[in-house]
Amino acid sequence: MSAPVSSSEKTARTTTARWRVIDIVVAAVLGVAIGLVFWGWNTVGGAWFGAADALTPGLGGIAVGIWLLGGVVGGLIIRKPGAALLVEVVAATVSALIGNVWGVSTILSGIVQGLGAEIVLAAFLYRRFGLPTAMLAGVGAGIAAWTFELFYGSTPNILKTVEFNVIYLGSLIVSGALLAGLVGWLLVRALAATGALSRFAAGREVAREV
């Protein structure tokens, strides 16, 4: 039988899960900033995606990781239930509003990808935010993207070959772990080192290491 949870522990968990005004503001700012990154990556990443896919069908997924950054970065900084989803969706919405070839489907992708990262963070009860967790969150977002594209689009991937889907899934996993997870973790640490995240646990952790 597990030990009973004390009232102080329950209060601490509730406080940790409760959103502050600063959390909402930073989530919005992060979403807009990362949305601009998405918009810039639409050209660079789109070209990389096309070139890799032409080399080996399905390999284009290696370029997708940057589009998964929102969930990872938002989750690592804000550390509240829903943060990964919110930041990814705001970023996707900004990218769609500025204009891209995918239109409203960008927002749908953002919802699914944000949920993929969110599920991983929830599995750790929003208590672990190191590099392994960041990389797993990126992988979760990548797998979610793969699942979404399996059934959605003018030509859903389920209509393509098994070989294509296996290669695409593998590419998304690698890209999610590295371009979203590793890059996202490094980005958060870089922001924390400037003092910009002093009101967040992510900033205080880096400050203690210095």
Output the six-digit token pair for 194. Answer: 């400037």
Q: What angle do CA 66, 190, 41 make, to 5 degrees?
A: 20
The closest alpha carbon to 49, from 104, 2, 122, 101, belongs to: 101
Residue 149 one-letter amino acid: E
The closest alpha carbon to 88, from 64, 105, 107, belongs to: 107
Helices (H) and strands (E) in the chain, counts: 9, 0
Rg (CA), the chain: 18
Residue 147 one-letter amino acid: T
The pLDDT averaged over each successive group of 10 residues in the chain (210 residues) is: 45 65 97 96 93 95 97 97 98 93 91 98 96 98 97 92 97 98 97 93 80
pLDDT for 132? 97
Please list the alpha-helical segments (H only) found in 56-130. Answer: 69-78, 83-98, 105-123
pLDDT for 22? 96
For residue 24, CA distances in Å to 83, 91, 104 come to 9, 14, 24
Q: How far is CA 36 from the centre of its chain?
A: 15
pLDDT for 210? 58
pLDDT for 7? 44
Output the six-digit token pair for 49. Answer: 């995606």
Long-range contacts of 17-20 (CB under 8 A, 24+ apart): 17/80, 17/81, 17/126, 18/80, 19/80, 19/82
Query: E-assigned strands of the chain?
Result: none
Residue 99 one-letter amino acid: G
Q: Which residue has the tokens 């938002």?
A: 74
